[in-house]
Amino acid sequence: MILLSVAHSASAKGAYNPAYSVSEYELSQIMTSSCKSILDINQIPCDVLDVGKMRPYMSYKLNYIRRVKPELAIEIHLNSGNKNADYPMCVYYKNNALTKRCAQIILNNLKTGFEKQGWTKVRLLEVPTEIKGFDNSRYTFVTKTPCPSIIVEPLFISNNEQCKYLLSHGALNSIGEMIGEAILDWHAEKTHKGAV
Ligand SMILES: [Zn+2]
């Protein structure tokens, strides 16, 4: 089963953009549900975890994951440690070929999807990393989750141009769908390899 975990929670909503009065949590809910619909249509078993007002939300999340044991857990965020960031980013756990491959496919899809907007750079990040000044604790979901896991940062809510785009008609749904399609491709590739 693939677990799609909504980023942050209803009481700790993650990054907030005051110019547009939106936070990561509510936008992640929309992208996550569009991603799920792609997996549902293609009959890939998946589940959405939205912790709502539970707190502390991270330990609730990790306990839940420990219980349901997904083959992959994914969270879609919209913020970076770096305020100037403007590229889609995927974060995966060090030395895990499975999640690395999935992260690569997701980034390829996002790269193609954002070509029109001119956002052509992408970043694949392995954590924990030794990069100087890098705060690994920002990526607890990847470093502490007891299953293969990925954080996707398709765009950044802190970047006003990107935030405006996120709120444009259909943008969040289309991002969720791009991620869903990537998971499908990854799943098919993995299944095919396993069958050989
Ligand atoms: Zn976040």
Question: Distance from first CA to last CA of the chain, Å, rounded?
Answer: 22
CA of 24 to the centre of ligand 1 (A): 6
The pairing of beta strand 22-23 with beta strand 16-17: antiparallel
Contact status, residue 13 vs residue 52, Cβ threshold 8 Å = no
CA of 76 to the centre of ligand 1 (A): 8
Strand-by-strand arrangement of the 89-93 sheet: 46-49, 2-6, 72-76, 149-153, 89-93, 123-127
CA of 75 to the centre of ligand 1 (A): 9
Which has the closest alpha carbon to 77: 116, 128, 32? 32
CA of 81 to the centre of ligand 1 (A): 9
Q: Give the domain CATH number at 112.
A: 3.40.630.40
CA of 193 to the centre of ligand 1 (A): 33
More confident residue, 131 or 17: 17
Mean pLDDT confidence for 95-110:
95
pTM of the model: 0.94
CA of 117 to the centre of ligand 1 (A): 22
- Determine the pLDDT at residue 52: 96
Checking if the pLDDT of 78 tops 80, the result is: yes
Q: Which domain holds residue 19?
A: 2-195
CA of 121 to the centre of ligand 1 (A): 20
CA of 8 to the centre of ligand 1 (A): 6
Tell me the percentage of the chain whose pLDDT exceeds 70: 96
Checking if the pLDDT of 151 tops 70, the result is: yes
The number of domains in the chain is 1
Q: What is the pLDDT of residues 26-59, one digit of tens each?
A: 999 999 999 999 999 999 999 999 999 999 999 9
Q: Rounded to the nearest 5°, which phi and psi values hold at 184?
A: -60, -50
Report, in angstroms and rounded to the nearest whole number, the Rg of the chain calculated over CA atoms. Answer: 16
CA of 96 to the centre of ligand 1 (A): 22
CA of 127 to the centre of ligand 1 (A): 16
